[in-house]
Structure 1
Amino acid sequence: MAELLVEQIRPGLNVRGVFALKSKRLLPYREAPGHFLAVTLVDRTGEVEGRLWEGAEEAGARLKVGDIVAVEAQAVAYNGVVQLCIDSIVKENGQIDPARFIPSAEGLEEAKVKLQQLIDSLTNTYLKALLSLLFSNPDFYQAFCLVPAAAQYHHAMLGGLLVHSVGVAAAADGIARDYPQADRDLLVTGALLHDIGKVYEYRCRGAIEQTDEGRLLGHIVSGALLLDRYIARVSDFPEDLRLKLLHILISHHGRYEWQSPKRPKFLEAALLHQLDLLDAQADMFSRAAAGREDKDSPWTGWVKGLDRCVYCR
């Protein structure tokens, strides 16, 4: 019996698969003593409800939300939707591939090539040396290419940070031609660096999770600390350039109410904030339109991150 993804499950199938445990509830039987376990199981293709009728108390005690679980079950139709009648559910302790549970961004290999092209294009030797040093760290580079740019709203998928950062940097490269008074190398470098703290803010297993550091410090603080450590490793790095880079990073959210410690105070910082917002919103609008449930309607439902419905025609 092959392992199935959620999108492959149909009523009548015997199901074996590995899923992330999104939720669990121990509920009482309506007309008999005892409890059953109601769970929501997810992978990168969707989610499915499941019910464990025997051994519910024991399973509910040993499993926790976020666990990766191996499940054997029968798929049935209940109230018009697929539901799993679970025979066994156990925690999976082997090697976990996050790509089974979290969708991956498109164009990752192209984004890696574009990242290197942008670094190679810099003429400022200090900025080029800084980026080369940072991205030559294999642990950092692997994390930068893996983690999402957000947990929910934009580029919330594996590789999302890479795609978003390169997208903002490519836009920065383009807009610098229209605003020649801006320092193109500073703007492109700031774009590539603005979210680097997210390598410490998120971890990915069965879902996108926020780390303790992410909760306590946030990616702006973590990113500024990381950036300053690497600047210190570049010989004779100019102090005014250091301050500008750090300001770009800590001001890129643009507003105090958006958890930005500072508002942008020079042109490149102001441009970076707008380009970051532009790339994030372009992704949210595009994904809202592509993911709308009623394909016959030109309107999506309410999109929380945009605080509106989206017109798709």
Structure 2
Amino acid sequence: MSEVKVTFSTSRLPGADQLVDRLPPVLRIQSIARFPFDERHMLCQAVLFHEQAGLKVEWLCRQPDNRLTAGALVSIRWLGRPVSTTGAIRISRLVKLERPEASLNPFATIPHSWVKDRPLVARAAQLWEGLGRPLQHLFNAIFWDHHRFERYLDGPSSLAGHHNGRNGNFRHAVEVAERALALASHHAEAHLPVLLASSLLHDAGKAEEYRFNGRHRRFEMTERGTLLGHKHTVL
């Protein structure tokens, strides 16, 4: 993954055209807010995240797009040459990406608030690269819903057993994939992309099995988890 870090924060944007060309085509909304601007417009502001770039953007709209929420994957529609206004880049609008794209490594779009262990995120991103395009598309289709993806990353793998803390399910999936690759190194007939996909997705259903109870400050089993379980949900 590229180490280039682009952050727009000043009123002057020297070489803005070159910087825009280096921005990833897809970013994740970290936060979004809307303010009254005039009789016909709202001022929308959003903070966008990608491992390669972080920036704040703003645009005017008559009808706010309620599909644009924190966590959504979006692309930027530019408004001429990028200029900064009070620390935000003026754009034409953001477009929510409704259809999963196989080319996007979703682990490159995980905000720090979702997973603080960045080496773990980097390990997952490297594993995803080994899936091959068809299975990358499958993985992205399953987790294009950002709510599901966040729960997959945030939740535990169990309530009282192994990996029972925050990000436990994610850590477990990465560790299983890495151990599977180590075992497969002794078997030339093993199909590594399928092995990786199976490892990363085997507990994907746990995204619907646990929910964090803010009142009690703990993860609890959902009704679906109790009645069906993650093994059926993942199917």
- Please tell me the TM-score bracket, short chain as reference: 0.3 to 0.5
Report which of the two structures shows the higher radius of gyration computed on alpha carbons.
1
Normalising by structure 2, we get a TM-score of 0.47
Larger RCO (CA within 8 A; separation ≥ 6): 2
Normalising by structure 1, we get a TM-score of 0.36
Q: Which has a greater percent of helix?
A: 1
